[in-house]
Amino acid sequence: MTTKNTCNENAYIFKATKQAELTQYLNEHKGAVVALGATVAGGLVALDEETQNNIGENFDEETSQEIQAVGAVTAVGGIAYCLFNADECSNVTATIASYETATKEIDDNLTRADETIVTLNTDIERLTEKQNELQQSIDNMEENINYTQQKIEELQPIGLAKILNNL
């Protein structure tokens, strides 16, 4: 297994562990989760202009008003729960935000790690090419050395003979 795979697997395992912890925490605080969801969803239906336009385009006027009224009641119900359970709703909101930040940080780290790995692989390829070029130069030099040694060996007897003749 490569270092990249090991690091990524560890990061994904860590991320999955954090997501499992969050899921368990949210399961332990279902009332606050439902209240917060109701507040957001109901508020969007009752107050968000774009959501109201979408409802208005897909339903007749009476149904649109009923949907918005249900949204408002839903939001008020969520707000009421959170008013009476402020600590729990606050803690759930903070925990969700904390886990989202941690998850984003893990994702950002994985992205940076992948980018670094790509850069390093490019550098490895470039250095491998340079190594191959240098090895070719070494091989050529060794061929030249061998050729020169062979010629020296061939010329040595001739040189000795000339020296002996001149004596």
Distance CA 81, CA 34 (A): 9
Q: Nearest-CA neighbor of 7 among 118, 121, 117?
A: 117
pLDDT, the chain, mean: 88
Cα 31 to its chain centre, rounded Å, is 33
Average pLDDT (117-122) is 93
Q: What pLDDT shows up at residue 154?
A: 80
Q: Which domain holds residue 120?
A: 3-165
Which is more confident, 48 or 79?
A: 79
pTM as predicted:
0.61
* Residue % of the chain over a pLDDT of 70: 93
Say which amino acid occupies 125: E
Percent of the chain's residues with pLDDT above 90 = 50
DSSP-derived letter for residue 130 is H
Whether residue 69 has pLDDT greater than 70: yes
Region 61-87: what's the mean pLDDT? 90
Alpha helices in 29-85 (DSSP H): 30-47, 49-58, 61-84
The string over 76-100, giving b where at least 16 C-beta atoms fall within 10 Å of a residue's C-beta and e elsewhere, is: eebbebbeebeebbeebeebeeebe
pLDDT tens column, 12-23? 888 899 899 999
Q: Give pLDDT, residue 87.
A: 96
Q: What is the mean pLDDT of residues 28-44?
A: 92
CA distance 34 to 53: 25
Confidence bin at 2 (pLDDT 50/70/90): low
107, HSE (Cβ side, Cα atoms, 13 Å): 7
Would you state the structure tokens that stand for residue 34, as one six-digit string?
């439902």
Q: What is the pLDDT of residues 120-134, one digit of tens each?
A: 999 999 999 999 999
- pLDDT category, 161, cuts 50, 70, 90? low
- How many structural domains is the chain composed of? 1
Quick one: pLDDT band at residue 1, thresholds 50, 70, 90?
very low
Q: How confident is the model at residue 5 (pLDDT cuts 50, 70, 90)?
A: low
